[in-house]
Structure formats: structure tokens, C-alpha cells
């Protein structure tokens, strides 16, 4: 088996002391930001972009992936103990998990979340390893027009398919695309939308946009909000270990969650949230204890948490093999690759095989670290939840502006941060999703590149875009992704969709 | 972004939020105008670009025109939405806390070069805490400056991140 050899080779790379250290830093940071409300993996990776500029690419990317995975674990802790999801993929976990914690069963809830995440992460990482070579073969057969269609599909699913309004999702996306236009056109050297400002020639910094939308916008919204949420941290009473019945009721939801979450993450559609909702519904339908649902059913924690982590691993399939980010965190990781002059996609598997396979193998290592970090050490993370809001947000803004200044140490950049931060506040206030803006900024220029390549080959004949069957199928799926939710909303089923709103990560 | 961001309408002034409202949602109309302005800016800026010999009829102007058109369509969409159902219900946000945070960011921007990273960021720290109701400033400002200085020493000193140094930083390096 070729894949086994590659994976084993990657494992050797991942187990090098430096890479192990970076993986550990990544998962620790990731767990911390996953636990803390107001800061998530997308923002954290963006903040680290300027810091890691001079680091080794493999080690940095391993750290980024660790942050992504760690965020998924950490988010569940907050959901269960505080009923305020630390990140959006953990919303469902709060439904049953917090009820369990209130009944004094917080320990087993945390345990089933952590072990379920581990099982799912392990299986999904193996899935990633085995599917990737096939995806690479498929990707190599695609032309520029097909790639463009694929990106259109990603744009549509990230912005319009979920959330409660296609209009607002698409507006967020197009704002991101507009921001992506700013700066020098790579092919011709033509400055676009720079308004004669030299600082704008390099385009909008990814770090600045992420900090503005996630940190500044969020801080403004939380500070301005008149409603004080009732936040009570449930203490972890008793053992964190699960009893025999907990195990018996957990293992099937773990596996089902993985089976649901991984394919959803692996499709060029958006986010880890969707899988968690589907898994929750599946467990609710299949359970032998329907009376416990809504009052702390362990299946309702085990399944969605597994789905959540499996989706996170799945998201790496389109990111690594196609260069297609389908969540805000994946988009910023793509910017991380670009920072090192690497372009994820089928060619990366040929030109940087060691890096890719070390990265994939490091996910196995990261999962193991995370179980250790999250089960015995859960008490440490719980303390993070007790940080008072003023200090928390003062600290977040301090570090957030640190990242912006690190990317470009000029007052101009801080001015951009302020402007885009106010935009972020406005988006939040009026219910626009954030992730499409980030995906638009990063994926937009790549989509334009493919579009122009396709049109250059056809000498400007736009019909080339729909010449290949692959492209036609992709456009059809994209059309369904826009129209189906509209139809569902018209039939009064919009509630489900708005719950699935891909908000942050 | 050239237009003022969406928050421009100002918090706490959202009309038409009562039950059974019939009037159009003003916020959605304002956003529609902003989107239309943005569409126009993108269009005009792109048209003003010096045109190189149009090689194969595809160039740097295609995508901006396309996006400008999208923005215009979305502006129309917002007008329609304003009359149909409006934007989701929202709380009347308090401007006070926001002004503290925005003030902190403005101060940081103005003081970054003259006063250095630690003083500028320390003020942002203190003002943000104030926005969340934690004072007094005579305590939080020095605290913020010390925290920022420690961060500066770690990130600029050890990790070689280029963070502007001022009088305070020069005492150390």
C-alpha cells in the first residue's frame, strides 16, 4: 500500500522534536482559544501569520492545524460547562452537554466529547490520507474552467446555502471579493482600487481583515450589547470518567458522527457546523432513550462532537488537494501556505510530498495530545472561563493589534483595522455572516486567476466556462445550493437553516 | 473600503422595529445605498485605469466590472428586502462602550509611531477594559503599558517581530 508508506514517512517527519513541539504549542493554543469566548481558531491562525513568517513552513503549518483541531476540542468544554459555545461548531453540544453538567454529569459529558473527538479525529485523518491521493488524481484532470466552477460552488455554499438569508450571505461574500480586488494585479502589475495610496498596493492584509472582523467587531458588539447574558460556569463534580453505560451509549454515536461529519467536511461546501446538526438529529431519531433528549442525553454530546472533529479533518481534503478553503479557518490556513510560497492543490502533493504527509500525520499526533490535554487537565481550562470580560477583551484586542502591527508596523494598518472593525460590527449587528468575507478575500483572487486563465485559452470566449461536463455538474450543484434553501424558507423551514448559520470557524 | 462602514447609521436609532411594522426597514435602505456607492466606486475606479493593449480581451478590468455589477444587484436586493421583511430584529446598542473601544484604537493608531508599541497598546488595553466597565484608568493604563511592554519584549525581542519602539522600549533594548 502506497498510502501507508507515505503516511509512515510522514509520521517520521511529524515525530521530529521540533515538529512535535510546534504541534504541542498549536494544540495548547487551540484548546485555549476554543475555550475562550470571543476568540477562535481562525483569528488565532491569522494572528500567528506574521509571527511565523520566518519559521519553518512544515512546523508552522503543523502548528496551524493543531490550533484548528484544538479549537474543536476546546469549544466543547465551553459549551458543556458554560452553555455559551466557544466556537460555532459546538453549538449543538451545548444542547445536551450543558444539561448534563447541570445534573452533575459534566465529567462524563466532557469525557465523551473528548474521546469521541479523538476517535473521530483518528478515523477522519486516516480518511483524509486515503482519499487525498484519489482527489489529487481527479484534481489533475481539471482545467481552469473546472477550477473556476469549483470555486463558484465553494463561494455559494459558504455564503448562501446556510444561514437565514442568502441575500446577506452573498453580500458578505461580495464584500470580501471587493476587498480582494484591492492592490496590484498579479498578472499585469496594474494597481486596482488603491486610490493612489501606496499602502494599499499590497492589498488588504489577511491578518488585518481577520482581526478586524473577528476581534474588533466582536468586542464592539459584545461591549455595546445591552443584554447581559446569564453566564454560570457549571463546576465539574465527581469523576471525569465514564461508566460502563456511558461507554455503551457513546461508541455508536461516535462512529455515526464520524461517518456523517467527514464527508460533509470533505465536500467543497461549508464548515463543520452542518455535520453536528445532522448528527444530533440522527442520534435523536435512533436513541433508545428519547425521553432524555433535551435533558442531558449523552448520545447528543457524543455524536455531534465526533461529527465536529471529523468535519474539521474533512475540510483539509479540499484545502490540501484542490486548494479550496471551505471555512474561515481553512481560508486563513491557505493564506498561511501562500505566505511560504506554497499553493495547496494537486501539485503540492508532488512538489512538497514530505510537507503534506508530515502535516497529515501530525494530525494523528495532535489528536493524541489533545485527549491528554483535555481530559486530565480539564480543570486548567475551566479556569480560563473565569476570566472577567473586561480583562479578556482588553487582552484579545492587545494581542489582535499585535498581529496587525506585526504584519505591517504602520499607523495606516491600524486605521484599516479600525475601519474594517466597524464594518465587522455592522455585519454582526445586522446579522450578516463573517466567514464569507474572509473566504471571499482569500479565494477571490485565486478564482479570478482561474477565470482569466480559462478565458485567455479560449481567447475571450466565455462559453468555455461551460464546455466541460465537470463544470456543468458543479454549476448545477451550486444552483441547487442557492435555490433549495430559498425553497425551504418559502415553505417555512427556514428555522433549521438559520441554526446552521456558519458564523465563525 | 472607501465608504463608511455599515455601522454608519449609528446605534440605537433603528426605527420601525415595533410589532406589525409596515414601514420599510431604514437600515436595509442605508445598506443598499452604501452598496450602490461601493458599486459605483469600483466601477469608476476601474474605468479610470490606464488600459494596456487588451490582450485576448481578458485583463485586470474584467473582475472589478463583474463585482461592481454584483454589488449593484445586491443593492437592489436590499431595497426589495427593506420593503418585504427587513433585516433581523436587533437590540438598541449602547454607544458609550463602543466609543471607549474606538477611542482606544484611535489613540493606539496616533501614538504608535511617536510613543512606541507599549504606551500606544497599553492605552488601547485600558480603554477596552473601560468599555467593558472596568476602571479606573489610573490603574488600568499603567497595567496595560506593563502588559504591552512584556509582550513587546517577547515578540520584538525574542521572536524578532518588527514592532515600533518608543522611549519606553529604548530603555530595554
| DSSP codes joined into one string, B103-147 | HHHHHHHHHHHHH-HHHHHHHHHHHHHHHTT---HHHHHHHHHHH
Among A421, A430, A455, the residue with its CB nearest the CB of B90 is: A430
| pLDDT at residue A276 is higher than 70 | yes
3-state secondary structure of A184: strand
Interface with B, mutate which of A430, A440, A456, A464 (most B CBs under 10 A): A430
Is A238 inside any structural domain? no
**A269 three-state secondary structure:** coil
Interchain CB contact of B167 with A (< 8 Å): no
What pLDDT, on a 0 to 100 scale, did the predictor assign at position A505? 43
Backbone angles phi, psi at A192, to 5 degrees: -125, 135
User: Domain ranges in chain B?
Assistant: 6-84, 95-170
- Percent of residues, chain A, with pLDDT higher than 90: 16
- pLDDT tens per residue, range A420-464: 999 999 998 888 888 889 989 999 999 998 998 888 888 878 888
Whole-number pLDDT of residue B8: 38
Lowest mean pLDDT among A282-286, A472-476, B120-124: A282-286
The strand pairing partners of A192, in sequence order, are A183
How close A245 comes to chain B (CA, Å)? 44
- The helix (run of H) or strand (run of E) holding residue A191 is strand A191-192
* Rounded distance between C-alpha atoms, residue A342 and residue A336, angstroms: 9
Q: What is the DSSP letter of A409?
A: -
- Nearest partner of A114 among A23, A31, A220, judged by Cα: A31
- Which of A68-77, A135-144, A157-166, B69-78 ranks highest by mean pLDDT? B69-78
Collapsing DSSP to helix, strand or coil, A131 comes out as helix
Counting the structural domains of chain A, the total is: 1
Interface subset of B 75-114, CB within 8 angstroms of A: 77-78, 81, 87-88, 90-95, 97-98, 100-102, 104-106, 108-110, 112-113
The conformational region for residue A132 under phi > 0 = left, psi -120 to 50 = alpha, else beta, is alpha
Chain A with chain B: Cβ pairs closer than 8 A: 222
Q: pLDDT confidence of A222, banded at 50, 70, 90?
A: confident
Average pLDDT, chain B: 80
Structure-model confidence comparison of residues B18 and A301, the more confident one? A301
| pLDDT higher than threshold 90 for residue A14 | no
Residue A298 has φ and ψ, to the nearest 5°, of -65, -30
Chain A hits for B93, Cβ within 8 Å: 221, 224-226, 429
Mean pLDDT of A65-78: 86
pLDDT band at B14 (very low <50, low <70, confident <90, very high): very low
pLDDT digits (tens, 9 = 90+) for A335-355: 999 889 898 888 888 888 889
Chain A positions touching B5 (Cβ under 8 A) are 419-420, 422-423, 425-426
Please provide residue A191's backbone torsions phi and psi, each rounded to the nearest 5 degrees: -80, 135
Which residue from A83, A89, A94, A71 is spatially nearest to A501, judged by alpha carbons? A89
Write down the pLDDT at residue A88: 64
- 8 A C-beta contact, residue A401 and residue A211: yes
Give me the sign of the Cα torsion angle B85, B91, B92, B96: negative
Cell triple for A265: 467536511
Question: How far apart, in whole angstroms, are the C-alpha atoms of residue A174 and residue A226?
Answer: 31
| B106 contacts in chain A (CB < 8 Å) | 418
Which residue in the block uniquely carries the three cell numbers 467593558? B132
Distance CA A378, CA A374 (A): 5
Query: Which pLDDT value is given to residue B19?
Result: 45
The conformation of residue A157, written as its DSSP 8-state character, comes to I
Residue identified by cell 471587493 is A178
Contact list, A167 vs chain B (CB under 8 Å): 74, 77-78, 81
Residues of the domain holding A10: 2-231+248-499
Determine, yes or no, domain membership for A486. yes
Interface with chain B: mutation pick from A201, A390, A456, highest number of B CBs within 10 Å: A390
CA distance readout (Å), A245 to A41, A110, A240? 34, 15, 14
Amino acid at each position: 500500500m502506497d498510502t501507508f508508506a507515505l503516511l509512515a514517512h510522514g509520521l517520521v517527519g511529524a515525530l521530529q522534536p521540533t515538529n512535535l513541539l510546534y504541534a504541542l504549542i498549536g494544540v495548547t493554543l487551540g484548546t485555549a482559544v476554543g475555550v475562550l469566548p470571543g476568540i477562535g481558531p481562525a483569528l488565532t491562525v491569522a494572528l500567528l501569520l506574521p509571527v511565523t513568517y520566518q519559521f519553518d513552513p512544515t512546523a508552522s503549518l503543523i502548528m496551524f492545524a493543531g490550533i484548528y483541531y484544538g479549537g474543536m476540542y476546546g469549544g466543547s468544554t465551553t459549551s458543556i460547562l458554560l452553555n455559551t459555545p466557544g466556537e460555532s461548531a459546538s453549538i449543538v453540544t451545548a444542547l445536551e452537554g450543558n444539561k448534563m453538567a447541570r445534573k452533575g454529569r459534566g465529567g462524563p459529558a466532557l469525557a465523551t466529547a473528548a474521546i469521541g473527538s479523538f476517535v473521530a479525529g483518528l478515523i477522519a485523518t486516516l480518511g483524509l490520507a486515503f482519499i487525498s491521493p484519489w482527489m489529487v488524481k481527479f484534481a489533475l484532470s481539471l482545467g481552469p474552467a473546472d477550477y473556476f466552477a469549483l470555486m463558484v460552488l465553494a463561494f455559494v455554499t459558504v455564503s448562501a446555502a446556510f444561514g437565514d438569508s442568502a441575500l446577506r450571505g452573498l453580500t458578505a461574500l461580495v464584500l470580501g471579493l471587493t476587498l480582494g480586488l484591492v492592490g496590484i494585479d498579479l498578472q499585469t502589475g496594474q494597481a486596482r482600487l488603491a486610490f493612489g495610496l501606496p499602502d494599499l498596493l499590497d492589498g488588504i492584509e489577511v491578518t488585518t481583515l481577520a482581526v478586524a472582523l473577528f476581534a474588533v467587531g466582536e468586542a464592539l458588539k459584545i461591549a455595546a450589547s445591552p443584554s447581559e447574558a446569564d453566564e454560570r460556569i457549571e463546576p465539574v463534580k465527581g469523576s471525569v470518567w465514564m461508566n460502563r453505560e456511558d461507554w455503551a451509549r457513546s461508541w455508536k454515536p461516535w462512529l455515526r458522527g464520524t461517518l456523517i461529519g467527514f464527508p460533509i467536511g470533505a465536500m467543497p461546501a461549508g464548515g463543520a457546523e452542518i455535520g453536528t446538526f445532522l448528527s444530533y438529529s440522527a442520534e435523536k431519531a435512533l436513541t433508545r432513550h428519547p425521553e432524555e433528549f433535551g435533558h442531558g442525553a449523552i448520545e447528543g454530546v457524543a455524536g455531534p462532537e465526533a461529527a465536529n472533529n471529523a468535519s474539521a479533518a474533512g475540510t483539509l481534503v479540499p484545502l490540501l488537494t484542490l486548494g479550496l478553503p471551505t471555512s474561515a479557518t481553512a481560508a486563513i490556513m491557505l493564506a498561511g501556505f501562500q505566505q511560504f510560497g506554497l499553493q495547496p492543490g494537486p501539485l503540492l502533493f508532488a512538489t512538497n510530498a514530505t510537507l503534506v504527509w508530515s502535516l497529515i500525520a501530525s494530525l494523528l499526533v495532535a489528536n493524541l495530545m489533545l485527549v491528554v490535554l483535555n481530559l486530565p487537565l480539564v480543570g486548567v481550562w475551566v479556569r480560563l472561563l473565569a476570566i472577567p470580560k473586561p480583562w479578556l477583551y482588553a487582552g484579545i484586542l492587545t494581542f489582535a493589534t499585535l498581529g496587525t502591527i506585526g504584519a505591517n508596523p504602520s499607523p495606516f494598518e491600524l486605521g484599516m483595522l479600525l475601519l474594517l472593525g466597524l464594518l465587522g460590527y455592522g455585519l454582526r449587528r445586522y446579522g450578516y455572516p463573517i466567514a464569507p468575507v474572509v473566504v471571499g478575500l482569500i479565494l477571490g483572487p485565486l478564482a479570478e486567476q482561474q477565470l482569466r486563465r480559462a478565458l485567455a485559452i479560449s481567447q475571450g470566449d466565455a462559453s468555455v466556462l461551460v464546455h466541460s461536463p465537470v463544470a456543468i455538474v458543479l454549476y448545477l450543484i451550486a444552483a441547487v445550493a442557492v435555490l433549495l434553501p430559498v425553497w425551504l424558507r418559502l415553505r417555512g423551514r427556514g428555522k433549521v437553516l438559520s441554526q446552521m448559520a456558519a458564523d465563525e470557524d | 473600503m472607501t465608504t463608511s462602514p455599515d455601522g454608519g447609521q449609528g446605534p440605537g436609532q433603528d426605527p420601525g422595529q415595533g410589532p406589525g411594522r409596515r414601514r420599510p426597514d431604514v437600515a436595509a435602505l442605508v445598506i443598499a445605498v452604501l452598496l450602490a456607492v461601493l458599486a459605483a466606486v469600483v466601477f469608476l475606479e476601474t474605468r479610470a485605469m490606464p488600459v494596456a493593449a487588451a490582450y485576448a480581451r481578458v485583463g485586470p478590468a474584467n473582475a472589478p466590472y463583474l463585482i461592481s455589477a454584483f454589488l449593484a444587484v445586491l443593492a437592489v436586493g436590499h431595497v426589495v428586502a427593506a420593503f418585504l421583511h427587513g433585516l433581523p430584529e436587533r437590540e438598541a446598542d449602547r454607544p458609550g462602550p463602543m466609543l471607549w473601544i474606538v477611542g482606544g484604537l484611535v489613540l493606539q493608531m496616533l501614538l504608535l509611531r511617536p510613543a512606541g508599541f507599549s504606551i500606544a497598546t497599553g492605552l488601547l488595553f485600558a480603554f477596552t477594559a473601560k468599555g467593558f466597565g472596568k476602571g479606573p484608568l489610573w490603574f488600568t493604563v499603567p497595567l496595560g503599558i506593563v502588559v504591552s511592554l512584556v509582550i513587546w519584549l517577547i515578540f520584538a525581542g525574542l521572536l524578532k517581530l518588527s514592532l515600533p519602539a518608543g522611549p519606553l522600549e529604548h530603555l530595554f533594548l
